[in-house]
Structure 1
């Protein structure tokens, strides 16, 4: 019997600093390491420009602050990945609508063959009103999508209550 394993070359990981994104990042590293040293991990942080449309005193300083925070977060992820042994890791900070950028534009530019994305942290009402980025990506991406719901030991991610309790400690 011959087994053919999918070998991913270009893995995209959207990260936003959330717990769910952290889980996706860690799983993506594990997948990349299993796929060999020529696998590239591309991290992306998307600044949702729609969030700024309602601000009447919109100024560039606000965007610069958000961008700087994103850059620091991304460099932290890159450092962590390199410490674990990843060599092919890049990141970008993009501006626009996260759904379309993650599902279509960035995968096309990066020749992505796997998107590793955290399960949404939105509640049912928020998903109804604004829609889940993860749900959109799984429906419309033209490559494989791994939705991460568990940690590296395949234990369920913390609930919102558990996360709050952990922050207090």
Structure 2
């Protein structure tokens, strides 16, 4: 029997992979009648490398994140997801996506895009997707390709 998910988290960062994951999350949330939590994490480690820390820079990043996440929110509502929320968090994306946010919001499914990193980059800096799949307490769905491509593949395999 298939599990009925009630609280779905999708992590978005504006990348193509995150956009594909978001589209799938909308489908899954609608199919399950679930709450969809759209999450964007601003990696504060990026600001630690800036020698002259500028609060205006943080505000600009925050405003850009808010604009983008509101677009995702509106897309989910327009697609028919009834219960949608969004959050912008600051800190370590790995820890927030895998542990902090799911625990605070009773998440039972995390959806994220496959990493855009190559093998060397994953070795040096690690992959958020890899970390989440390995350490999250709930189910994790990694989206590798757009839903429309999945349907095309199924149709080709049937013929």
TM-score bin, normalised by smaller chain:
over 0.9
Q: For residues 72 and 58 of structure 1, what CA distance do their matches in structure 2 show? A: 23
* Corresponding residue of 1:9: 6
Q: Unaligned stretches of 5+ in structure 1?
A: 156-169
Cα RMSD (Å)? 1.1
Tell me how far apart the structure 1 counterparts of residues 23 and 71 of structure 2 sit (CA, whole Å).
13
Superposition TM-score, scaled by structure 2 size: 0.92
How far the C-alpha of 1:102 sits from its partner, in A, is 0.5
- The C-alpha deviation readout for 1:15-70, integer Å capped at 9, x for no partner, is 0000000000000010111112xx10001110000011111111110000000000
Is residue 67 from structure 1 mapped to residue 62 from structure 2 by the alignment?
Answer: yes
Q: In structure 1, what is the equivalent of residue 119 of structure 2?
A: 124
Q: State the shift of 1:153 in Å.
A: 2.2
**Alignment length (residue pairs):** 151
Greater share of helix residues, 1 or 2? 2
Over 6 Å off, 4+ runs: none
Unmatched runs of 5 consecutive residues or more in structure 2: 151-159
Superposition deviation, residue 124 in structure 1: 1.4
Determine the structure 2 residue equivalent to 1:167.
none
Distance in 2, matches of 1:27 and 1:90, equals 16
